[in-house]
């Protein structure tokens, strides 16, 4: 199963909506990590600036204070940022500021070691960007900004054709290639994993044939509603397709599958604001809330009529057992009562609904 889904994912490009969902999900998961990267970057830069300023005799200038203030503000903004698209722009601004700040400090070093420190600074920034949840345009823009601000050939006396210059060019190309490969591979792998998790979740909670929720999904959601809807009128309806076995025996299982899909589509269209699912076989279940008894009966009666009047090949009817969920009822007890009412509907003529009554059950 896992291998089949993996092959399906790799053969299909993730739709744009899924990619947007993935980017937001990835950013939310890594939000604290992004904050950590910003804070650590500021901390390391301040330490380096202090070392160069006091041990190198450069002095801690007002420009250093401006850079610290701007980076601190960007970090605070990140703490309140909740959208991945906003982080793409925020990260790009942060990269521009911190690379300029690095250049300020590096210019206080001796000329002969400045190119090496520029390459070291660029390496650190580019590696950090590669593991952050940014889109491609932001990633490539950050690379461009980094090399504009920390390009070692802006140091006087360093030329491309020199030995040191050639080594820097080779290292820069190797670094860019490695960072780019790592970024693209990591993003692709994370997108595949997110895509597969979505498909596996659908397999677990959606009925494959009818494409509506399955029993597991319904039991989870209905149980949540039972705990939250204590003050509302709540009803449970069990739905069964009449004479479904005869349809299968006479026309085959393919036709039976079509009948199941059509019935599920009618339930979905009629009960779209409520919880519904296929329990198994030809049985479906609906959880209704916020309705009076008359309204609940009207809704299930309308569903019976809709299925009956569905102008399609191999028409069918349905029977429905409806019960009100009392204050002390649990989901299992409600299902039992709805099933008892369904039994009455099936044995009382079919193509109708029956409301569960305690007195009626006592007479059975």
| Beta-carbon-side half-sphere exposure of residue 79 (alpha carbons within 13 Å) | 8
**Can you give the pLDDT of all 364 residues of the chain as single tens digits?**
445 555 555 555 667 888 888 999 999 999 999 999 999 999 999 988 888 877 666 666 788 899 999 999 999 999 999 999 999 999 999 999 999 999 988 888 888 888 889 999 999 999 999 999 999 999 999 999 999 999 988 888 778 888 888 888 999 899 999 999 999 999 888 888 888 787 777 778 888 899 899 998 899 888 888 888 766 789 999 999 999 988 888 889 899 999 999 999 999 999 999 999 999 899 999 999 989 999 999 999 999 999 999 877 888 999 999 999 888 888 889 999 999 999 999 998 899 999 988 655 544 5
User: In DSSP terms, which residues pair with 276 in a beta bridge?
Assistant: 286
Q: Where are the domains of the chain?
A: 2-203, 215-362
Q: What is the pLDDT of residue 276?
A: 94
Residue with tokens 């705990």: 227
Q: Residues 127-166, buried b or exposed e (16+ Cβ, 10 A)?
A: ebbbebbbbeebbebbbebbbebbbbeebeebeeeeeebe
Domain 215-362 belongs in CATH node 3.30.70.270? yes
Q: What is the pLDDT of residue 14?
A: 67
Please provide the size of the chain in residues. 364
> Quick one: tokens of 80?
């309140």
> Quick one: tokens of 179?
């960072």
Q: What is the pLDDT of residue 80?
A: 96
> Alpha-carbon distance 174 to 164, whole Å?
15
Catalytic residues: 282
Q: What is the pLDDT of residue 1?
A: 45
Q: What is the pLDDT of residue 288?
A: 93
Q: What is the pLDDT of residue 9?
A: 53
Q: Specify whether the backbone of 276 is left (phi greater than 0), alpha (psi in -120 to 50) or beta.
A: beta
- Alpha helices by DSSP H, listed for the chain, are 2-11, 16-29, 31-50, 62-79, 84-106, 114-130, 136-150, 163-205, 215-228, 244-251, 253-270, 293-308, 331-347, 358-362
What count of other Cβ atoms lies within 10 Å of the Cβ of residue 33? 12
Q: What is the pLDDT of residue 84?
A: 93
Q: What is the pLDDT of residue 251?
A: 87
> Alpha-carbon distance 304 to 325, whole Å?
21
């Amino acid at each position: 199963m896992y291998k089949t889904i993996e092959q399906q994912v790799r053969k299909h490009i993730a739709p744009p909506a899924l990619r947007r969902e993935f980017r937001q999900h990835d950013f939310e998961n890594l939000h604290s990590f992004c904050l950590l990267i910003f804070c650590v970057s500021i901390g390391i830069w301040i330490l380096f600036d202090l070392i160069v300023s006091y041990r190198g005799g450069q002095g801690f200038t007002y420009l250093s204070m401006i850079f610290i203030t701007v980076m601190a503000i960007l970090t605070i903004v990140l703490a309140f940022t909740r959208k991945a698209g906003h982080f793409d722009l925020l990260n790009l601004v942060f990269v521009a500021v911190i690379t300029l700040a690095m250049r300020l400090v590096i210019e206080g070093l001796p000329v002969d070691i400045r190119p090496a420190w520029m390459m070291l600074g660029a390496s650190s920034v580019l590696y950090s960007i590669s593991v952050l949840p940014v889109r491609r345009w932001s990633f490539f823009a950050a690379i461009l900004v980094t090399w504009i601000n920390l390009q070692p050939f802006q140091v006087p006396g360093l030329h491309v054709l020199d030995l040191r210059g050639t080594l820097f060019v080779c290292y820069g190309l190797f670094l860019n290639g490695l960072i780019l490969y790592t970024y693209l591979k990591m993003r692709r792998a994370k997108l595949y994993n997110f895509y597969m998790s979505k498909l596996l979740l659908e397999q677990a909670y959606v009925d494959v044939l009818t494409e509506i929720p399955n029993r597991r999904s319904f039991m989870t959601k209905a149980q949540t509603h039972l705990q939250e809807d204590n003050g509302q009128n709540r009803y449970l309806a069990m739905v069964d397709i009449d004479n479904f076995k005869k349809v299968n025996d006479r026309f085959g299982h393919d036709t039976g599958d079509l009948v199941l899909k059509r019935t599920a589509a009618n339930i979905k269209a009629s009960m779209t604001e409520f919880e519904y699912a296929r329990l198994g076989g030809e049985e479906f279940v609906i959880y209704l809330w916020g309705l009076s008894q008359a309204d609940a009966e009207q809704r299930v009666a309308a569903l019976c009529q809709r299925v009956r009047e569905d102008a399609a090949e191999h028409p069918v009817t349905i029977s429905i057992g409806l019960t009100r969920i009392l204050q002390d009822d649990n989901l299992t007890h409600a299902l039992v009562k709805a099933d008892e009412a369904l039994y009455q509907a099936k044995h009382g003529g079919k193509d109708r609904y029956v409301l569960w009554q305690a007195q009626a059950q006592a007479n059975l």
